[in-house]
Amino acid sequence: MKINWGTGIVIAFGLFMSFILYFVFEVQSNSKYDNDLVVEEYYKYDSHFQEEMARIQNAHDLQQKPIIAFNKEGVKVSFPASFESDKIKGNVLLYRPSNKKFDFNTKIAVVNSNLLIPKSKLIKGRWDVSMEWQYEGKKYLTKEVIYVN
């Protein structure tokens, strides 16, 4: 039996569509391909976006800003010495883009103008640090990306 080029194209399209559908079903049914949303309640999160931008602007407008950096001990958040430690309130969210199981929140407890998150709580790789804090009633948001090695 001889197959002409039109029949060959139809067969090729059929095989290609079968190949694509196989991978779609494989990714949807296999638990090792995690396809969760980054934020569980996306619309609720999005409704507060303008407030978040105002807090980021407040942090940007500061003359002396807190510094978030990684060193051999862990993640160190250094507030300016001019800030009174007992007036700083808030929390630090460490977000792991590759796996949400490693995400965690830490309350801000400043000692000598510093907050240290020990290296033992972190695994190697990228971390997105989001620090929501208040000082003298004004709200701030500082975001930083760090790499743990």
Enumerate the domain spans of the chain. Answer: 1-35, 42-148
pLDDT above 80 (res 47):
no
Evaluate if residue 21 carries a pLDDT over 80: yes
Give me the phi and psi of 96, to 5 degrees please.
-100, 105
pLDDT tens for 69-103 read 999 899 999 999 888 888 899 999 999 888 888 88
CB 48 within 8 A of CB 39: no
More confident of the two residues 39 and 149: 149
Q: How many CB atoms lie within 10 A of CB 75?
A: 23
| Residue 58 pLDDT exceeds 70 | yes
pTM: 0.69
Whether residue 102 contacts residue 123, with contact meaning beta carbons closer than 8 Å, is answered with yes
Nearest to 87 by CA among 69, 108, 59, 67: 108
Alpha-carbon span 66 to 83, nearest angstrom = 10
Query: 42-148 adopts what CATH topology?
Result: Immunoglobulin-like (2.60.40)
The C-alpha atoms of residue 1 and residue 19 are separated, in whole angstroms, by 26
Q: Which two tokens stand for residue 144?
A: 């930083």
**CA 92, CA 47: separation in Å to the nearest integer?**
21
Lowest-pLDDT choice from 27-31, 54-58, 59-63, 132-136:
27-31
The 10s digit of each residue's pLDDT in 94-148 is: 998 888 888 889 999 888 889 999 998 889 999 999 999 999 889 999 999 999 8
Provide mean pLDDT across the span 9-37.
Answer: 86
pLDDT of res. 19: 96
